[in-house]
Structure formats: structure tokens, C-alpha cells
Amino acid sequence: MNEGKIIFSQVMEHLPLHEFRKCIQRYQGEHKVISFSCLDQFYSMAFAQLTYRESLRDIEACLQAQHTKLYHMGIRSQVFRNTLANANQQRDWRIYADFAQVLIQIARTLYVNDDFGVELSQTAYALDATTIDLCLNLFPWARFRKKKGAVKLHTLLDLRGSIPTFISITDGKVHDVNVLDELILEIGSFYIMDRGYLDFERLYRITTAPAFFVTRAKSNMSCKRIEAREVDKTTGLICDQTILLKNFYAKKDYPDKLRRIKYHDAETDKILVFLTNNFSLPALIIAQLYKRRWRVELFFKWIKQHLRIKNFYGTSENAVKTQIWIAISMYVLVAIMKKRLHLDLSLYKILQVLSVTIFEKMPIQHVFAGDYEKMSMNEFCNQLNLFS
């Protein structure tokens, strides 16, 4: 018999469970709960995310097949699909949202010194949203179009480590720009957005915070040039100007000067026009900052491909938000584990390895080193050797 903990348990050791208990108490998550605690629910849903389970019946079948290992996984109750479905529907989703924020803060401290390709001392965030399509008949609360349902995942991504620092889950009808009203702005930070967030009144709030933004201008924007600076056109820069808005309402919403930078992207052969309220950074750095915005799009693509946030285990709003927040927690947990264990692997490969070794009983470092097949069974055997 192998000694030690199973892989799932070793992964969950990176969770600050004392903070999880605080989240439970904050929302009275276990009020009148006799069995199947919030931690049992979290572990069951985490198992589903790490092993790509498609349904509640799938989760039940797999965990029942390994019922002798449930205790070693930290699950103290039998997992039945009805029990898990009721927990997802009734337990407050904010428990898992708050706990995800705890994990996010841990991850950000681990990745604070990571390089993201731009020499910048300040924190840089990319803001964007993605739509997750739903069946309107099954999810009537998720209004999007007349015959279509959807939820939107609004995300503010820290470019150092690609860690989501703010997430808001809304129905599909909420416009992307509205999320700017929910952000708690950090002084001196950069917020990088596409043209969908071009609202001068909201952008002026960022300026008065004071913080910085980088976005793209619309083709019909009316402005007056105040000053022009020299640029090195061999780098792709076309012009670097200080402007004032001319439109009456736009000028009323944003009365200060703006910086307008025109740049030719050689990779796509497109001319891009950027707007920013930062006048100190070189124009090329501003263009490079906007180019790093693609990381938030890669984040959306990654979680949709490798986590279970497109097929849901429940149809209620609470169940959907619970599943999304636990999925985000797993993404951040894998990122934390990658840093703490000094793994030179992508998050994708870490997830793939975990999905096929989750019930193995061996040191987790050996699993990711790929040498667990070469290890001697004596290393894990409780039986004493008669001959050396």
C-alpha cells in the first residue's frame, strides 16, 4: 500500500480553509445543514472541474466508484446528484465568490514581479467581457435576445500572471461599459480597454481617480489638435498628438486634454488609433500596452476550453454563478500551485496531468516531473525489507 496523500488532497492543501470558513459564516452557508457541508460541495465541484465531468450524474458515478477515497479527498459525506443539485441551488453563491477573491489576492502576491512584455512599474489591467450562450427555455432569468439566453462574464485581468482581479456575472443584456461603474480604481494603475468601453464620462472618472486608461478611438470622433510630438516612424508610429474633444456632449463629459496616438500594426496591416490620459510614457509603450490586451481574450478562450463554464450542472442563477466562481477558483488555485511548486509547465498541462492522476497516491512533485513511473515501489511501501 502506498503511503501519503492522494493527489487531490495535495492540491487542496493550497487552499486557505480558515478563510473559506469565514466566507461560510458571513453568509450563513451551513444554517440547518446536517450533512454535505459547503466544503463537501466545493470539493465535489472542484473535482468536476479538474477531471472534466459533464453532468451531476457523471460526478456522482465517478465519486461513488471511488467511495473508499472520499474521506481522503476531504469529502465527509456521500455525493449524490440530488444532494449536490440542491446545494448548488440553495447555498449562497457569494460564499464561493468571496473565497475566489481570497485566492486571487494570494495569486497576485506570487505573480507581482512577473514580466508581461512591457517595461512598466505600475500595475496594468485588461478589461473585457465574454458571452456564454444559454438556452432561454432552461435559463429564463438570463435574458439576452428575444429567443436567446446568455450570461456575460466581465473580467478585469492583471497582466502580471494573467490573474482575474475583478469578475462580474450579469445577464447578456448588460452593456460592457456599465461595468466601469463597479470598478474600484487603483491610483496610478493602467486600465486597457477596447472601443466598447469608450464612454467619456466614465473615462473622466478614471482620470480624476487618478488612474490611467488606454483605449481605441472611434472613426467618427471629432477633435482639435493642440500639440504634435515627433515619432520614430520606423517603429510603426504615425503620430503622437495632444487633442481636445470638439463634440459638445463629449467635451462636457471629458473637458481635459487627451493624447491621441496613431500606430501601424505590421502583423495585421491595420492602422490603430489609441486614446490615453497618460502623457509621460513613450508612445510606443502605449501601443505595446494595448497589444497586451489580447491576454484577457486568451483567458476567456482558455477557461471556456479547459473549465466547465459552458455546460452547467444546474439551471438556476445561483447554481450557474456557483459553478462559474468555483471554476475561477480552480484556475487561480492551479496558478498558485504552479508558482509555489516552481513548475515549469503551462496551466493547460498541469490540468491535464491532474485529470488523470487525481486519485493517485504519490508526491505531487513526482507527478509533474514525469518520473513517477520510474520510481521504486519501495519508496511508498509500508512493508519493511527483509533484505537490503
Does the pLDDT value for residue 385 go beyond 60? no
Does the pLDDT value for residue 121 go beyond 60? yes
Q: What is the pLDDT of residue 378?
A: 45
| Residues 165-203: tens digit of each pLDDT | 999 999 999 999 999 999 999 999 999 999 999 999 999
CA atoms within 13 A on the CB side of 341: 23
Q: Which long-range contacts (CB under 8 A, 24 or more apart) does 236-240 make?
A: 236/263, 236/264, 236/265, 236/266, 236/284, 236/287, 237/261, 237/262, 237/263, 237/264, 237/283, 237/284, 237/287, 238/262, 238/263, 238/264, 238/271, 240/283
Average pLDDT, the chain: 91
| Residues 307-340: tens digit of each pLDDT | 999 889 999 999 999 999 999 999 999 999 999 9
Does the pLDDT value for residue 375 go beyond 60? no
Least confident interval from 123-127, 154-158, 217-221, 275-279: 217-221
pTM for the full predicted model: 0.90
